[in-house]
Amino acid sequence: MIPIIKITNREKITPAHQMMTLLFSIMAGLFAIGLIFLAFGVNPVFAMMKIFTGSFGSMYGIKETVTKAIPLILIGVGLAIAFRAKFWNIGAESQLLMGAIFGTWVGLNWGPHLPAPMIIPLMFLAGFIGGALWGLIPAFLKIRFSINEVISTLMMNYICAEFLTFLIVGPWKGKTKFGFPYTDDLPASAILGVIPGSRIHYVTLIVALLVVFILGVIIYKTRFGYEVRVIGENPEAARYAGIDFFRTTLIIMAISGGVAGLAGVGEVAGIHHYLSYPASISSGYGFTAIIVAWLAKLNPFFVIVAGIFFAGILVGGDAIQISLGLPAATVQIFNGTLLVFLIMGDYFLKHRITFKNNRMPHGEPDPQ
């Protein structure tokens, strides 16, 4: 009478089904996080309320949430494209940093000689190229040598972080920074304007929304978008259908890395105004954006909502730290737990799990 668990693929997945799974995954995730809060001796309902009032409950919170959402949206939309093609890009963190490095170089060297309307587009262009080049390396390694991109993109994060550290303690160390490992400040023309009274660097925000729109159109309305989807669903079929796997993968990663690079330029030119340690420039946006893309179900337009949601959690995370005395790592635990539940939800969405008793003889066909 021992029940047997039987896992089969689901034939048909309806949008309603998808929505229910998503909601249920989030609820279950929040419940699990609640248990963690309980273990800290904090009322979970109060803590969750505090997170969301800390981020969406005041003008201050909203402004900060939007500021944090900018890089998350940019990176998230790029990842959504890569993930659609089942290219698991875990290296957005360093694609952002490479963009920041390229953009800063342009800003520091050309900024003093060019006016803002010229230098800022050049910085974004340089940032895109930097991120794209860094993203192309693992793409090339995958198609040429079949090197697993999860490993290569993840490892390249460390290479880039060390390279950035080398630059700021070495050749790029600022003359005005008292020996601290920062570059000099960007010249005034290379600094992005902010909405008064906030830290929202609106140029990057507009860039992010444009990127979402363009990539949304590409994914849903163009032949290329179709090819991306086919490569993700069935690479063999794609090959038979004459889709150039080599070319498409390279373009996907150039886009995915490039938009992460744009986020890097936004962070340096909009917030920090100089390059410093990798962890200060990015604070893990490249990893958080993975969850953003996943929560958005790889839909570029949903990335906006998911990006704002996770930015809210980051900003609200400060609030629970300050008022409840929870450790700084709480937010990472929150995000990680939610991702685990989202991925689990996806599994249950794609597979049917049936319990049955082993009274039936083995080998009997599934009644379905």
Partner 1 sequence: MRTIFRVLALCLCVLLVAGVASAEDKKIKAGFIYVGPVGDLGWSHAHDLGRKFAESKLPWLESVFIESVPEADSARIIDRFIQEEKCDVVFTASFGYMDDTIKAGMKYPDKHFMHCSGFKQSKNVGTYFADLYQMYYLNGIMAGALTKSDKIGYVGAFPIPEVVRHIDAFALGAKATNPDAKVHVRWIYAWVGPDKAKEAAESLIAAGCDALAFTEDTPAVIEVGQEHSEKGKQIYTFGHYSPMQAYGVDSVVSGQLVDWGVMYVKILQSLYDGTWTKDDLYWLAAEDAAILGGDFDNIINPKFVADLKAAKVKTADFGEISTYDLVIKRYEQMKKGADVFEPFSGPINDNTGALKIKKGAKASKGDLLSIMYYVDNVVGSIPK
Write out the residues near partner 1 by the rule CB under 8 A. 54, 58, 60-61, 64, 67, 165, 169-170, 173, 178-181, 199, 271-272, 276-277, 279-281, 283, 318-319, 321-323, 327-328
CB of 194 to partner 1, least distance (A): 11
CB of 285 to partner 1, least distance (A): 12
Q: What share of the chain is helix, strand, coil (3-state, %, to 5)?
A: 75, 5, 25
CB of 160 to partner 1, least distance (A): 16
Q: What are phi and psi of 351, to 5 degrees?
A: -125, 145
Rounded (5°) CA angle 277-281-283: 105
CB of 15 to partner 1, least distance (A): 38
Q: What are phi and psi of 323, to 5 degrees?
A: -90, -20
- Identify which of residues 198 and 299 has a Cβ nearer to partner 1 in the complex: 198
How do 3-9 and 351-357 pair as beta strands? antiparallel
Cα-based distances in Å from 186 to 99, 147, 174, 196, 274: 15, 38, 10, 20, 6
Q: How far apart (Å, rounded) are the C-alpha atoms in residues 52 and 339?
A: 18
Handedness of CA 226, 227, 230, 232 (dihedral sign): negative
CB of 328 to partner 1, least distance (A): 4
- Identify which of residues 308 and 319 has a Cβ nearer to partner 1 in the complex: 319
Taken as a whole, the chain contains a residue count of 368
Q: How far apart (Å, rounded) are the C-alpha atoms in residues 301 and 297?
A: 10
3-state secondary structure of 177: coil
The first and second tokens of residue 358, run together, are 């082993």
CB of 91 to partner 1, least distance (A): 21
CB of 326 to partner 1, least distance (A): 10
- Identify which of residues 318 and 346 has a Cβ nearer to partner 1 in the complex: 318
Angle at which helices 300-324 and 330-350 pack, to 10 degrees? 140
CB of 95 to partner 1, least distance (A): 19
CB of 274 to partner 1, least distance (A): 9
Q: What are phi and psi of 187, to 5 degrees?
A: -65, 160
- Identify which of residues 64 and 149 has a Cβ nearer to partner 1 in the complex: 64
The first and second tokens of residue 268, run together, are 């340096």
Q: Are 81 and 256 in contact (CB under 8 A)?
A: yes
Q: How far apart (Å, rounded) are the C-alpha atoms in residues 98 and 138?
A: 14
- Identify which of residues 68 and 142 has a Cβ nearer to partner 1 in the complex: 68
- Identify which of residues 169 and 209 has a Cβ nearer to partner 1 in the complex: 169
Rounded (5°) CA angle 29-30-36: 95
CB atoms within 10 A of CB 112: 13
- Identify which of residues 135 and 312 has a Cβ nearer to partner 1 in the complex: 312
- DSSP H or E run through 173: none
- Identify which of residues 317 and 345 has a Cβ nearer to partner 1 in the complex: 317
- Identify which of residues 277 and 348 has a Cβ nearer to partner 1 in the complex: 277
- Identify which of residues 21 and 282 has a Cβ nearer to partner 1 in the complex: 282
CB of 322 to partner 1, least distance (A): 5
